[in-house]
Amino acid sequence: MENQPNHTTVFLCRDDPDGIFTAVYDAWASRRGHACVRLQLEGPSTLELFCDYIPVTPDPQKADKVIGAIRQNISLQAWEAVYRAALSREERKADIIYRFLVAGFHYGPAVMEMLGEPAVQNLFALDRQVGNEAHFFTEFLRFDLMEQDILFAKMRPKSNVLSLVAPHFADRLSGENFLILDVGRSFAAIHPAGRSWYLLSIEKEQAEALLSQKPNSYRDLWKTFHSAIAVEARKNPKLQRSLMPLRYREFVTEFL
C-alpha cells in the first residue's frame, strides 16, 4: 500500500456490519489488487493526497454474499470472530477485517490457527476486545424494576456490543419484560416477556423519560449484602479497583 501511494483506492463505508461487508465485496470485485485498496470508515477523517475515495452504498445482498463465503470457505468460527470485530470501536477495523479475509480465503479454515500472522493477530485482537466488553456487561449490567413490571438497564459500552449482550438476557430472563439502553448510541434492546427481542433506536426525550422513572428498589438490600460479604482482615481496595475500574461503575448499583 504505502509504496504505491498513487494507486491506493480507499473504500469509505458506513460503520455497521452491512456497510463493512459491502465494502469488502466492492473492494474485492474492483480487482485493483489487495495491495492497492484500503477500507476506511466514513467520517470526518482527513483525506490523503494520492488516494481515490469511493463511497460505498450498503447493500445487504452483497454483504450476505461475503458472509456466506466466509462461513462456507473459512469457517463458522471465523465468521463469528469477524462479526464481533465489525462491532469494535477501533477506527481501522474495516481494513483489519479485509486483510484477515484476504488471508482467510487463501488459507481456508487453517487461518484460525495461524497466530503468527499479523493479519490474524490484528483481527483476533479486535475480536477479543469486543468479546471481553460484551462479557463484561453480562457480569455488570444492572437492572432496576420500573413501573409496569419492566426491567430497565443502562450501558455505555465503547464498542457496539448491545446485540451481543441482549441474547444472553433474553435467554435467561425469557419471562421478563426488559429494556437495555445504550446511552451513548441512543438505541435499545427490547424484550417483551415470552417473545423475541429486537433493537430500536430511541429519541432523546423518550430516553430521558425512561431514565427519570423511580426504580422499585432492591438496591438497598443488595448494597447491604455487598458490603457485609467482604472480609475486613482481607480488605483490599486497590485490588477491587484493579478488577473493577472506576470508569466502569457508572450504572452499577452497588457503587451508586
- Does 140 bind other proteins (CB under 8 A)? Our answer is yes
Q: What is the three-class DSSP state of 167?
A: helix
Report the alpha-carbon distance of residue 55 to residue 45 in Å, rounded.
14
- Contact between residue 157 and residue 122 where contact means Cβ atoms under 8 Å apart: no
25, 100, 143, 197: residue in contact with other proteins (rule CB under 8 A): 143
Report the alpha-carbon distance of residue 245 to residue 229 in Å, rounded.
20
- Does 198 bind other proteins (CB under 8 A)? Our answer is no
Residue labelled with grid coordinates 445487504: 60
**Of 203 and 220, CB closest to other proteins:** 220
Q: Which stretch binds other proteins (CB under 8 A): 36-44, 96-104, 196-204, 221-229?
A: 221-229
- Does 71 bind other proteins (CB under 8 A)? Our answer is no
- Does 194 bind other proteins (CB under 8 A)? Our answer is yes
Sign of the four-CA dihedral 23, 24, 27, 28: negative
User: What Rg do the C-alpha atoms of the chain give, in angstroms?
Assistant: 22
CB of 115 to other proteins, least distance (A): 5
**Of 26 and 127, CB closest to other proteins:** 127
Report the alpha-carbon distance of residue 19 to residue 56 in Å, rounded.
7
**Of 42 and 117, CB closest to other proteins:** 117
Q: State the CB neighbour count (10 A cutoff) for residue 30.
A: 13
Residue labelled with grid coordinates 480488605: 235
6, 229, 246, 247: residue in contact with other proteins (rule CB under 8 A): 229
Binders of other proteins among 147-176, rule CB under 8 A?
151, 153, 169, 171-176
Q: Which stretch binds other proteins (CB under 8 A): 52-60, 86-94, 181-189, 246-254?
A: 246-254
